[in-house]
Amino acid sequence: MHLSILLDQHQTTLQVHPYQSFHSIFSHYQSLESSIRDYDISDFDFIYLKQHIPANSSLCCDALDIPDYGVIELHPKLKGGGISDFLKFFKKHWGYVILALLIAVIPLFTLPSGLIPISAALLKTVLDESFETLGLYLATNFGKYSLYNRLKFIISFLKYVIFILIVYVSVTFPLLVLTCIFKGKDLLDNPKGLCSPSNAAFITGIVLTTLYMMIYTYFRGFGNLLDWIKSFFKQDQTSQMTLAPATEALHRSYDKAKYVAISRNPLINIYYMFLDNMADVSMVTLNSIIDLGCKSKFNTSAFIKKFENQMNKIQDQNEDLAEEGKRGIVEVKIPSDRKVDCCNPENYEQIGTLLYASINKSSFENYLKKAELYTPMILLAITFLEKAYESPNSNKELISNLLSHLEYRLKTFSDSNHQAYIPSSEGFYNQFLKAFFFSSMCNLFTLAQNTNVSIQEMGGIYDVIDMLKSGSATGYYIAWCYGICLIALTICGLFDIY
């Protein structure tokens, strides 16, 4: 027999067996004409002479007295949706909804932080290091110099692709979670129902990413152009003496002017001042850690004096430049002959001596006691001195004397706190802490070395700070746009518009 299917004035005829179940007929709807096949049959009710036929019915045409060429009409199902459907879903799955809302508001706080450009720059640095290793291997072992140059050219643009992808994912994924959660029960029952909310999130993400790149280009693009012009002027001695200084002055004026509007926000201004001040202190501290753990030899008194002089220099520069609205940036570059063998055994005695001298300073000693770091610092100094004692070139008499004083301090501190004194050389707990502190200190030296290298490869501390500021300013403006889109998508989701 023949069975006709009617949908939106489109009718198609199937040849079926009179005893074939409707479940069998409707499960093979792919054989229908394209005008009907494009629809999802599960979204429709099947009606014959005002009689509803379930899609999974085991009945057949003969059982319902459907004649040859009988017509079955397909009517769209009346679905739920809107606020009432969402509230029902929220009542049953409130944990998922709250989690989705929390994820959706995260960009409002992460975008103004300025960490997106730094993350992209760090990933680019890692990829550059990996590529250089691979490229040099290809060039030196197989003579693939042309391939190396082509790959290097491609990698140079990769950082922009990474940057755009990070921005896109950062703003799109939270919106995708938000729009999908508003579909309510459809989220679990109908996977195709996620297409429209996903599309809304993707389009919004593309628009926000485009705005982000345009604003960020304003904050960074002109400065990068001036840097390129300055490097071009440096190729000639005459232009280097005349035009390069003028370009540098223009660059600094631009850096000063581009943040005037955004700095009117008190929170942003405080954040920028924090970045400027921390840049100076962090680079001096970073360089001091590298000198302490990665240099082959150093003089303890000279090391302390150098550190104090650098900190005083920062303070003087900040005072001199405060009226001009700039901060003094002390860029510390790694000399090419610096050893990268951090936590060098040759330095154990000097490191232990420096830690001992620090503990003996009353101001620093009081700070350590308040921070509950006094005992760990003593154990750390003892560990370095004990390892230095094993070296044949060490001053064993001096080290023994320092160890005795440190052990006496440990005992005195334990007695003053009414604690049971355990010598540093005894007990599993002390041995574990000594090994842990020593390993942590060596890892700190290596981390400082790698961090300094990464900063230099990213353009130096001044460029890193400017990157953070530009990313923060761009993120601040985009956060407002993101918030507007968040509200709009929420309203549209509640009223089932997408």
pLDDT per position as a tens digit, 106-153 = 999 999 998 899 888 888 887 777 777 777 777 777 776 677 777 777
pLDDT at position 393 is 80
Mean pLDDT, rounded, for 183-191: 64
**352 near 381, Cβ under 8 Å?**
yes
Q: Kindly report the number of other CB atoms within 10 A of residue 5's CB atom.
A: 22
Alpha-helical regions (H) of 143-236: 145-181, 186-189, 195-233
- Amino acid 203 reads I
Give the other-Cβ count within 10 Å of 19's Cβ: 10
Q: How far, CA to CA in Å, does 57 sit from each of 17, 42, 78, 210?
A: 15, 13, 20, 52
The CA R_g of the chain, rounded to the nearest whole Å, is 35
pLDDT tier for residue 98 given thresholds of 50, 70 and 90: very high
- How large a percentage of the chain has pLDDT more than 90? 16
Q: How confident is the model at residue 33 (pLDDT cuts 50, 70, 90)?
A: very low
Residue of higher predicted confidence among 349 and 476 = 476
Looking at the chain, which residues constitute the CATH 3.10.20.90 domain(s)?
2-78
Q: Band of the pLDDT at 208, cuts 50, 70, 90?
A: very high
Give the mean model confidence (pLDDT) for residues 460-464: 83
| Nearest partner of 166 among 205, 126, 108, 127, judged by Cα | 205
Higher pLDDT among residues 172 and 279, named by residue: 172
Q: Which CATH architecture has domain 2-78?
A: Roll (3.10)
Q: What is the pLDDT of residue 207?
A: 96
The pLDDT, as a whole number, for residue 334 is 38
Q: Provide the strand spans (E) within 51-160.
A: 51-53, 70-76
Q: Percent of the chain, pLDDT > 70?
A: 76
Band the pLDDT of 313: cuts 50, 70, 90. low
pLDDT at 56 over 70: no
Asked if 494 and 488 touch (Cβ cutoff 8 Å), the reply is no
pLDDT bin (cut points 50, 70, 90) of residue 82 is low
Whole-number pLDDT of residue 420:
82
pTM score: 0.66
Closest C-alpha among 132, 130, 217, 133 to residue 167: 217
Nearest to residue 66, comparing CAs of 111, 138, 128, 18? 18
Please say if the pLDDT value at position 9 is more than 50: yes
